[in-house]
Structure 1
Amino acid sequence: MKLAAPHTQLELIQTGTSPAKSLPYSLISDIAGGGPNAISTLLQHPIVRTGLQAHQAVVSSGYKTPTPRDIPPVALTNIPHVDAKAFHPYLAQPDFHLENPRTFDIVSEQAELVREPKSSTATAANANVAARKSLATNAILQEKLSWYMDTVEVHLIASISTASKSFFSALGSLRELHGDAADAIARIQKLRTSLAKLDQDMAIDGLKVVNLKRRRHNVRKLAEAIIQLDDLVALVRQCDSMVALGHMDAALDDLDRAERLMAGSVDAGRTLPYRARDLRSLHALQGAQADLNTLRHRIGRGFEARFHASLLDDIRSHVSRTETSATLQRWGDAFKRAKPGQRRAPSVFPAYVDISPALRSDLDAELRGLTRAGYSTQAATAFRALVLREMKSLIRKRLPSSTDDDNVSTVSTSTAGVARQSQQEKSSVLARNLRALDPDDWFHMLADIYANTSEALRRLSAQAEMQQALDLSSLLGEGVDLVQNQLTKVVRVRAQQNAEFALPDFLRYFTLNRLFADECEAISGRSGFGLKTALDGQIKDFVAKYADLVRRQLMNRLDADKWDAKDFGPAEMARLDRVKQGGVADSPDWTASNTSVWQPAADANGNNAAANGGNAAATSTNAATNGTANGTTNGTANGTTNGTANGTANGTAHANGAKDKVRPAVIDENRFILPDSGAAILSAVESLQHLAAGIPSMSSEIAILLVDTLKLFNSRSSQLILGAGATRSAGLKNITTKHLALSSQALAFTLALVPYFENVRRRITEHQAALYEKLIDIMAGRAAMHVRSMKAIDWDAAPALKRDAGASPYMETLVKETTTLQKVLAKHLPDNVVMAVMGPVFTSYRQLWERAFVEVDLHSGQAKERMLDDVRFLRDRISKLDGAGDLGDHLLHWSL
């Protein structure tokens, strides 16, 4: 128990303040636990002090309850002022607790409350301990404690008397509040009763009415939703029937209306007898969207079929109405080089760009339908496959039969046997039938395939430009690749047969393929590697075989020559004029057969069949008539023994044996009386020149073959005349001075022809120059690319890590490429050629980088220093190369 300090309480009493809040009630009850003067006795009601409570008293008839008047007055003596110093200091400590035994011992001054009986053991043990006083006999301590307790009681009495007035006032207010609360409770109870009656009479009945109205509204909404659902089902059925009938536009309109109706949307300008609601959340319509998507897919397929049919029918009709000759002529006009001073004919719009308004309208409607149906991508993908299949079909239907059941085959097979043929067997039969075609049939078949596929691809390109909604950018490239891959297989089958063609036939075949390759490159922007590779191989085989044929025919004519003077008639003069003209330009007779491929072979070559002795067929035919061992055509008609020949063009002689005049060959002012060997070497030279004019890409190889042919003529004529080989091959008895003279004339004639071989030399020189120009263009293009890279650099930004000598990557690459080119050229070419190539390269560098350095804007000294580092790197590396000159110093000065 904790007591307040006595001096503090006395101060409060003297100052008149109330410490009631600082003294707990338990302190009072603990101190005044017993005795008539205890604090608890003073705090009790006066009635309690005079006797028992009314509810505790025993009821008796003669007992009278005491009243306050029965209590005698008590006079309280004044407590004298006590100084605070009189109290012990521990009584004022905040941690004062009387229940603590140590504290109690200090307060009681080590007094004994109850004295224990003495014993000998205790007496002996406590002999050294001072004897404690008994509290009962310690009157001074009792007086101190009583004084302290009286002081506390007085303080409590003063505090209670001060607070009693407000306490009883609060108690009265509490009673009033209690009465008001009871009245409020009664009113609330009455109000609840009234509200319960009102709820029963009005609210419940009204709520029933409201619920009935709500139910009627819900039923109306349900009925409208059912009507809306019925309309939706009707629209879907109508849409399905329209799809079945092929009316895709109406079906798509109905489908869009159905989707809008299911979403609760109404078309503008249309009224419904009900309010449309969103039905997509209905459980019954969970699968409806999938059904609508299926319908949309079917509609998209329908539009796709119409779209594909429109495009493919247009391609097929265009191919069918376009003649092969017209297509070939268009190719020739498009890729034919105009001669100097010659104006090309004004170009006209080709037929493949002419799109009819009806087709435009159909395609526009179909594309709109595909877009609305969300089927554009699928339609474009499927159209790619259909176009590629159509390209294969155009090729396949022009090929000969792939079965043995045809007019060409000599083996009869049944239909069941044909059906059982494997794909490998069909391919083998097709290859055999392709090899069996004669040159004219082969050319026409190939021309038809090339023309049809070209017109189909051209028409496809016009369609792709017209319909930009679909991405068909790569379709043309795929179509060209497919066509060339298929045709490569066809062309390779006849590799051997094509190498054995006559010269005019092969040149027409070569020109046809060249024009087709150019056409494919113009359509797709890329050249076919496979087809060109196959054709290059066939060209090389033909050139080798044809040159061998020309040499064999020359040998045959030399061996059969009687070394008599031969008349140099109009045919030989025309051949000589063509050879001489070939030094300046290609003869029209040489180019007519391979430029006008759209004309029939008879029209292109018929007029020049006699003049063009260079073709293999004519030469092969004349080999027997002009070079026979018995010399029947070169000998005289009457069998004279002078050994001279009449050499007339028609091979006849006068009946009287008179000899016709022998016409010489004339070159410039020189005249040459030639034997048949002179005409033979002229024919061989023209044949090879004709071949070089027809296939310019093989000019260098043909020039070598021509030199070999001249060497062969020289060596063989030497063997025949100087070595007397003509006595065995032509049956001459001996070699006379006439033979020697005519052989000398043939050699002189050949030497006179050599300057006119400038055409071959010109072609070779042009070929070399083209190669050099190609190298120069490549390096100029690379330099231009590096210039663009240099302009794209942010020179004012912090420089990236440089790999070598402080140069930027673009400059390192340029120097490396230039150095590599110079090393390769120096290893394989003479020094003068290297200088001829590297000089223009460095000149192009000078021009490009001068403009580049001027066009670049540098905003700081750091940026300019970075650029100067690159230029110094170029100067240090390029200056070591031959032909660079002062390029590095010039560019460095220019960049400063």
Structure 2
Amino acid sequence: MASVPYNIHPWSHLDGNSGSPQWKKCIVCCKTGAFKLPTEFAHHLRNFHCSKEGGSYVCRYGVNEVCPSLPLEGVSDKDYEDHVARDHVYNGSDYRRGGVGLRMTQMGHGHMISPLVSGRKEPSIVEDQFRWTIYDASVNLPAVLNDPRLAKRETDFFTKTWGEAFEKKDVQPSPFLPEINGSHFERYLGKISDKYKIHAHGIEQLSKQQISDRLHSGALKSLKQLEKNRADLDQVPKIFMLPNFSLENPETFCAVFPWTQVEESKPDKNGNRQSCKLLQEKLSHYLDTVEVHIGEQISKRSEAFFHAMTSHDELQDYMQVTCRAIKQLRDKIHALEETLAKGSLKILKLTRSRTNYVKLHNKLKLISTVQQTQPTIQLLLSTNEFVGALDLISTTQEVLAQELAGIHSFRHLGSQLAELEKIIDMMLRADLVKYVTAELNRPITDLQALADETAALSVSPQEKLVAIVLGMLRQRDFEFVDVIRDEAFTALKATIKQSVIEAVATADDVDAEGIVGSLADQMRLLNYTEWMNMLKNVFHNILVIVNRVMAFHTVVREVILIAAGRTRKGADVALLQSSDETLEENKDAEDEDDGDDDDIVPSDAEPGHEPLLHVSVTPGNASDDLDVMITESEYLATVQGLKKMLCAVCDHAHDRCVKLMVARAKDGFLEKLSSNEFVALSKVIEGFVTECERKCGRRSTSLRGSLLNQANRFVDRFHDERKTKLSLILDNERWKQADVPAEFQEMVDLISKSGKMQLPEKQRIDLSKKPAEFIVVNGEKFAVVGTVLMLLKMMVEYCECVDNIPAAAQDILGRLIDLLKTFNSRTCQLVLGAGALQLVGLKTISTKNLALASRCLQLIVRYVPYIKDHFKPKLYDKKHTLKNLDQISKDYMDHIDEISNKLVAIMEGLTESYVIKWDAKAPMPSSCFRSVCKQMTKFHEVIIDVLPQHQVKVIFQRIHKSFVNLLRHQLLTLNVINDGGPQTGMVNADIVFYENNIKSLKGVEDVIEGMQSVWTNQVKS
């Protein structure tokens, strides 16, 4: 067995402080000399200075029970033993570098720590910097193969210790060695092919028996020699053959040297112990046996051994030559490095240093710039550059996070900027509220004073609004719409209250100080004129506030356009047009408003004309170069919110006005108004509502609904008054033709000229004109009674009422239809039904009475289309309501036809009474025909001046046809035939007289178609 060489004592590695071995004492327990072997010290550390946590071991050997060289999370049992041997039993550095290593070998139930001393020395970084050592190798194979702790090499040794790249290192093919393939062996194969063939042929010539005998004899000799060698070697104990044989192990030593046998043996005559000699001879025998076998093996392989030695010497020579060549190569490379490489590397180093210095300089400049961030932000905020301040904060935050990350002096700057950004948000909102409140609550003065006030401002107020809105958009804060709306609500409430207070204070007959009660109670003491003036003032002030809100709307909308990127960069963007021409127009409109109390706002006043805001974004303005701040969806939502805000302001204004109206109507004040007063009120309210609708683009229903409720009450009273008045006039109507005053003729002329139902202005009526006999409509004369003239004026009044109260158009038209029905039905009762005989004491209903009633009905029917055209644009249910008007026209025409039938029936009764008494006797013309012609002439004289000629002609055609039928029937009764006799001549003489008399009547000359038809169906005898 080969022994392990030692060049130092096994336990000579001492503690540097005390001179004794490190394992001799425990520095924690202060036990010195208590441990005889390193094993005992290792067991002590495991038992008293080690804790087991789960499956891991934690070393507690050190100050405060903390080991400075083992991880706190613990290691495995095997790693713990290595740690104890490396760091606590022996010096860790020597253990790692190969000076002294420990090997833990399992022998029975304990561990044995044995030192392995190596003569290697770690290379010097000064002396050996150009000499290759084993430490330059990628894989240290001796360290792997000679690891005493492993029975066999672990497959993951390299990857576990040094990582995957350590073991799996690709070996690049050498450029100096050729790639060996089959062609390199062709020459050798050709050289030995002949010899191989001869050899193969000789073997084939041997018989199988010879081959078998040779093999058998050789095998027998080999077997015998092997049995002999095995018998000799069996005498040697197996313990000497173990791979881990070591006399350092006490158990192995005791097994080889049995001390008990030696001690128990008695000495011989010479005093020597027999057992020691026997043991010595036995060991010598074992040694001789092994040496003999070694010698045999050497003798058998001497040739190969000497060949190997020779090859080893040659290899050593080659190695020396190679080392010298490598040394020369390294020297040359070192010279090249000195002359060529180091200068270039120095240049690269200096270049890199210069680049680093430039970067450092730039970084310092950036740090200096960042240090000026807060003062710059304060300066920007002082000039209302909120967007610039926010952009600077954002840029600084990005620089701090990217380029200046880790700068200790800026560790608090990021949080300070974040807090400053929150403060700017609060400033923006507070400034917006302050600005909007100040602008909305400015005193309402004339336009010139307002223009001077705006011109006197050092900074245009709209520029501040633009800065605030842009800042809020930059922060994605869209609540500026809500702020403007809420402040507008507050301003509306305040201005209405102030207007009422001023009206009550300036009223002559109201003692505001002596009245105890609310402001609404004081307002109810105002008379109609004072209350109307107050209402106009309220409407005017509200429209001023609405105009200011519209100015905000216009400016903010233009700012949103800029923020959304919808404007062309570099172009002038006018946020609100406010020129001198606009100022003059507004001034003229204000003057017109002051001169006319019925107008709330000038008709030509356009929204936004008040010079509240007028700013343009020029190329020099910072706002022109703004990036897109909001998305398309945010732009659309904000624009829609602005539109809703404007509508909400108008709706709120209407709601406040409704409360004002309700408070004034509590004592029935509005219901007691006269027609003219209510119409004036309706005009004022309708003008205000229309102006609000024009500004916001949407109908508001609250104020118009309140007016409609009052209008319904007014319409009820309005209709009841006129219906009662019409009934009274009809009850006293004597149905005689009345003279037409000039005002009625002016009225129908104006209607014919304008095509609208309207009353003429009083100043345009010529009161010097005398009343006319007829009323002329488009050249056609109408003989009418006085009631129809009053009804016609009432119809115009209804139409004018709907102009003043368009919201009640449906109700007003229904009441007008009811009035027309009343006139139609009452006329029928009084004339056709002969009700006038009892009411006014007429003796009879004459033909002229009937004709006048028919002509009056015709006049009303003529103006029904005008009524239809007048109401049609204002109705919401056109189909049903206009159908009622058509039914009225039909009812009137049916009534006219009934009167015509009545006239015809009257004449038929008269002619029949004469015809039945007629006889074909002399004298001629007969008295019967004379009476008939007289009645017809009289009838014609009555109706020709009342009814139109075409109607007269139709009536006479029907009377003539009836007369012919009666005469034919009478001839049949008298049995008078057309035989040319004397009776025929008498009949023809009366017929000629009748024809001549009818033809003499105006307008009915062509009614007689020939009286010879009376002889129709007559048979000659």
- Whose Rg is larger? 2
Q: Which has the higher contact order (CA 8 A, sep 6+)?
A: 1
TM-score, normalization: structure 1?
0.42
TM-score, normalization: structure 2?
0.37
